[in-house]
Structures are given as structure tokens and as C-alpha cells.
Amino acid sequence: MNARNILTVFVKELRDTLRDRRAIISMFLVPTLLMPLLTFGFAAVSIKMVKKAGREIPTVMIIGGEDSPAIRQAIEKQPDLKIVPFSADYAEQISQKKLRAAVEIPPEFDKALRNGVRRSVKIYTHDGEMRSGFATGTLERTLREYSKAIVLERLTAANLPADLITPFDTRRQNVAPPEKVGGNSFGGMIPYILIILCFTGAMYPAIDLTAGEKERGTMETILCSPAARSELVLGKFLVVLAASLTTVACSVASMGLTAFAASHWLRGTLNSVATATASLPTVSIPGVLSVLLLVLPLAVLFAALLMTISLFAKSYKEAQTYVSPLLIIVILPAVGAVLPGVELTTTLSLIPILNIALVSKELVAGSFPLLPLALIFLSTCAYAAAALALAVRMFNREDVIFRA
């Protein structure tokens, strides 16, 4: 095997790939813009929607309570609620989002409270609807305050201290370091994005260098060159691998710049830098670099598989038809790693894609499980070597290359 021939094929194919607009978009444009758009675009839209919903005074209907003016007044004087007249179709209005919530007061509610009889107040809401949630939250807060006021009145009447019913307070304090918090928050998202971009970055060059060559009629010319079949395969494979790794590198750089910009933006919105620093989760930089090392054999696996599958196609469109279902197969284990309760085990360490996604959560959080890491790296390298050997074998089969 001649290294010079491999390098010649690599340079030639790389030059042709960089002329392909689709490859440029998938390698540079998509990974560079994906994280800023997801972070700032989604945040801007979410903040705008929440602010708009927060400015709207939700409409609320009171059902019953004509004989209980005290609780009605407590609800009606709430400035964050707009009380509308009673209508029998309140449930339909709530489901159609014409009414945000309704509160039902049982008969003789005030009298029951004076006699010490416990009654229930029912709130009708639209679960999952944001404005209905705001109205429900305001109603619940108002009713809690009213209930607390009644309890204080009873304690005062009985000459008992006000803190009798609350003998102690409960406070929650986080003791986990910021990188652990960040690992739990972003540990599933970072490997998911890297795995998807690692695959899509290799997809278009792999199709173009195999099925695309067939469609253009240049495959025969390349096969007539002095380079051996294995040298041609390795040259093309290195181009696909370089495209995949370039996509991942652009994505990581974009993630870093986006996180840096987002942290400064959050610091500007909070009262002080110290408060902002304490509230912002971080990720382990060595952990992210370790994830990149694990992505390397995965990129080899993706590049070899994509070339092998695309080689069976006679045209670019046919290759896309073959490769597209493979993207779903890649996404499923990456999503499975994000599901609650899925933890890294010895068995799962041998499942490609899923193993890297699971261990990446630990790495990003600053934890380095050495035995699973070694097992995952070696198994992924073995899968990648098998896929590359399969690609070389397929290129040596005339019935595959010249399939009619």
C-alpha cells in the first residue's frame, strides 16, 4: 500500500468535495449556526411569549359563593385576575381558551369555616396551556393566602402564637459543584448534537464520493488510475472522515462561543457578577475533550458505513434513500441516553452510539469511569475497523461498483 497514492487521492477528492455546496453547508454552516440559533433563538422566542402571556390579565369565572362574600371578595380584589360573569358552559370556554380558569365555591362556604367544617374549593383549568397555568397559579396563591389569614384569625382568637402551625422552616441548598449541575443539565444534549452532526457531516461527502461518482460516470476513470483499490478507498474514506470531524470541530467551537456569550448575557441580567457566577452551571472542559476523543472512532464508523451503503446505489438520490433511514437508527440510541433511569452498565457499554452518549454525560459532569471508558473506546474502535474492512471489501467487488 502506497501512502503517496492515498494522499494524492485524498487531496483530489477533498478539492472536489470543497466545491460541493451541500458539503460546505453540512460541514461548516449548519454546525456553526445550530447552537446560536437553538440557544438565543429559542430563548428569545420563549421570553417573548412568556412576557406577552404575563402582561395579559387572565379571565376567571367564579362559580357559586353568593352566600360567601368573604372568599369572593378575596378573589375579586386580586388585580392579576379579571372576573367575568358566570356562564354554564365554563368548561367548554376553558377548553377553547376563551376562559383561562374557573373556581367553584361550595354552598355556605363562609358559614362552614366559622363552624370549623372543612370544605374544598375546586379550580377548573386547562393543563398544558400557559395562560391558564398563570391564572391557576394566581388563584391557588390567593386561596392559600386566604386560608392562612383564617388560620391566623383562629390562633389569635385562641390566644395562641402565630408560628404554632409552622414550628420550623425548610431551606434547600445545592452542594454539587457547578460542573456537576451543568453535566446533568447539558450532559444529554451535548453528545446528542455531536453524534447527529458527526453523522450528517459525513453523509453528503460519502454519497458524493461513491454514488455521485457513478452518476457522473467518473468511477471508471478513477478505477483505471495506478492506485490500488484499497488506496482509493482509504483516500476517499479520509475525505469523509475529515468532513465528519470538521463538522464536529465547528460544532464544539460554536458551542463554546455560544456558552461564553450566553454567560455574559446572563451576568448582565443579574444583579452582580458573583450572583451570576454562582447561579450559572458549567461543564468540565477535560470532559468535553474526552468526548471528542470518543467521537473519533465513531466518526470512522459512520464514514465507513455511509460509504459502504452509498456504494450500492446507482445515483445520488438513490443513495439518499438508502442513507436516510440510517439517520433514524443513529438518533434513537442518542435519544435513549437522555431518558431518565438509563444508566451506563457493562452491557450498554458495548452498544454503539448509546455507549458514547451515556458515558458523555459522565464526562461532561467531570466524572471519568476508567473501565467503561476503556471498554467503550475499544469496542467502538473494533466496530469502526470492521466497518472500514467491509468498505474496502465492497470496493473490490465489481458487481457492487458496476451494479446495473
Mode of pairing for the β-strands spanning 82-84 and 122-124: unpaired
pLDDT of residue 255: 79
Task: Compute the mean pLDDT over every residue in the chain, rounded to the nearest whole number.
Answer: 83
The reported pLDDT for the residue numbered 274 is: 44
Q: Under DSSP, is residue 104 helix (H, G, I), strand (E, B) or coil?
A: strand
pLDDT at 328 over 80: yes
Write down the residue that cell numbers 376562559 correspond to. 99
For residue 64, the one-letter residue type is G
Is pLDDT of 122 > 90?
Answer: yes
- Between 223 and 149, name the one with better pLDDT: 149
Mean pLDDT is highest, among 228-237, 343-352, 380-389, for 380-389
Distance CA 121, CA 74 (A): 13
Distance CA 399, CA 240 (A): 23
Per-residue confidence (pLDDT) for residue 2, from 0 to 100: 80
Secondary structure element (H or E) that encloses residue 249, with its range: helix 229-269
pLDDT given at position 273: 42
Q: How many CB atoms lie within 10 A of CB 261?
A: 13
Cell representation of residue 352? 454503539
What domains are there in the chain, each with its CATH number? 3-38+180-402 (no CATH), 56-165 (3.40.1710.10)
Please report the sign of the dihedral spanned by the C-alpha atoms of residue 326, residue 389, residue 376, residue 196: negative
Alpha carbon distance 360, 18 (integer Å): 31
Spatial separation of the C-alpha atoms in residues 361 and 375, rounded to whole Å: 16
Can you give the pLDDT at residue 182?
60
The pLDDT of residue 278 is above 70: no
Q: Measured between alpha carbons, how far is residue 255 from residues 21, 32, 205, 285 in Å?
A: 24, 8, 24, 12
pLDDT bin (cut points 50, 70, 90) of residue 276 is very low
